[in-house]
Amino acid sequence: MSATDGPAADERVTVSDEAVAALVAAAENGGVDFDGLRAVSEGDGYRFETPEMTRAGLTESEFRDACTNHPEYVDNWYFFEGGDRSPADRAFLRWLEDGDAESWDVPTRYDALREGVARSWGQVAVTAMLGAGGRRYELRHEDDLGTPLPDLERHEDPLAARDLVKHDDRGRYRPLKTAPSLPTGWAFVGLDGRACTRALDLIYPATVANWHLEREGDLDVNHWRETMERQSGIYSVIKTWDRGEGYEHVNWVAEACCDDSQCLKRREWGYDDETELDVDGGDGEFPCREPCSLVVAAARKWTRLEGQQPRTYEFELTPGEKEQVEAIIDAVADGRVDDIREADIYEGGNRYRTRFLRAKRMDDTGRLCGVPTDPEEGSEDD
């Protein structure tokens, strides 16, 4: 778990005057006990204690010296406890460093930060490191972890994330920010803690907030039924899709839209608060608390389509053609169409193969095997 462009290993932490002043104030105001650092103002002076040393009966000046001599402990406390960080951001920045070793003591933590500590948030690799002024963060696509920094487009302003994540690497608009199609080729460098969480909030909006609510046991999950009941206007029709005949249709929706191959959020909503879905909710780090606007928009279309009654059609296909139809559906559903090579006529979804099938099996009006959609008349188009 080390980044390629970490700071020099001999970088020493210096502690800021603000941090020392804040610790003096905190010591006088009830004391501090954080990650091994204990600091308190007692009757006979100040006490400064780490797992390695204890000094008591200090004057304020001696206490300040102790701070300067143990900069990592003071910097560590001030970073997490000294500012006005939101609880969610604080928890996230702690989580970044916890990694597999939640019990890191401060010297170990700082040694790791000198090397760079990387964790993935969706497809973003977040690397915490030490730089001038303390902790600094670097964000890039996890696939770019091995790419030398000069080869990436570097940014320092979190707001740049809005444009960066708008299109995927093929230039297609990404209407769903948590789709696993994050573009590559960029890096945010030198971010402080606030800028780090701000950039992530633009790349994956509200994921840190919801992840934190979940950790605190406060995530407000809204299930399918209540979400669809809430819809109005052109979406109010969706509630009619729930006919009290089970939730198989919602399984299909979740399999279509919410699978890890489509969205990196971990689906926590079910059919209702008593009925989980039968399909996997995914392994993502951050939760999905209700059907999103893409699911709602798609569900409206499916509600209309699923209102149709099945009919029996008779088509004549060779076994190879039947399998080709299946292969085409698979290729489209798995987003592989663009990966099928031009001349790979062994793939059912190959363009030439598909054009041949169309030439042979579809009539001038695009009907499969010339069979009308509506047997009464010509065809019916929704």
The site for another protein (CB under 8 A) is made up of 86, 159, 162, 166-167, 173, 175-178, 201, 205-206, 209-210, 213, 220, 230, 232-234, 289-290, 292-294, 297
Q: CB nearer to another protein: give 5 or 201.
A: 201
Cβ proximity to another protein: between 194 and 367 the closer is 194
Instruction: Please report how close the Cβ of residue 257 comes to another protein at its closest, in angstroms.
Output: 12
DSSP 58-127: E-HHHHHHHHHHSHHHHHHHIIIIIS---HHHHHHHHHHHHTT-TT--HHHHHHHHHH-EEEEETTEEEE
Q: Which is nearer to another protein, 205 or 320 (CB)?
A: 205
**DSSP H helical ranges for 136-192:** 161-164
Distance between CA 261 and CA 370 in Å, rounded?
Answer: 36
Give the nearest distance from C-beta 227 to another protein in angstroms: 9
297/333 with CB nearer another protein = 297
Nearest distance in Å: CB 298, another protein? 10
Nearer to another protein, 294 or 325 (CB): 294
**Residue 94: partners with Cβ closer than 8 Å, 6 or more residues away:** 80
Least distance CB 305 / another protein (angstroms): 17
Pick 88 or 340: Cβ nearer another protein: 88
Minimum distance from residue 84 beta carbon to another protein (Å):
8
319/220 Cα distance (integer angstroms): 50
Shortest Cβ distance from residue 78 to another protein (Å)? 19
Residue 364: Cβ-neighbour burial (10 angstroms; 0-12, 13-18, 19+) = exposed
Are residues 158 and 202 in contact, defined by beta-carbon separation less than 8 angstroms?
yes
CB-neighbour burial class of residue 177 (10 A; exposed 0-12, middle 13-18, buried 19+): buried
CA distance 193 to 158: 11
Least distance (Å) between residue 121 CB and another protein: 15
Dihedral pair phi/psi, residue 39, rounded to 5° = -140, 130
Q: Is 164 in contact with 123 (CB distance < 8 Å)? A: no
Shortest distance, CB of residue 234 to another protein, whole angstroms?
6
202 or 325: CB nearest another protein = 202
Q: Which is nearer to another protein, 213 or 254 (CB)?
A: 213
DSSP 311-361: --------HHHHHHHHHHHHHHHTT-GGGS-TT-TTSTT-HHHHHHHHHHH
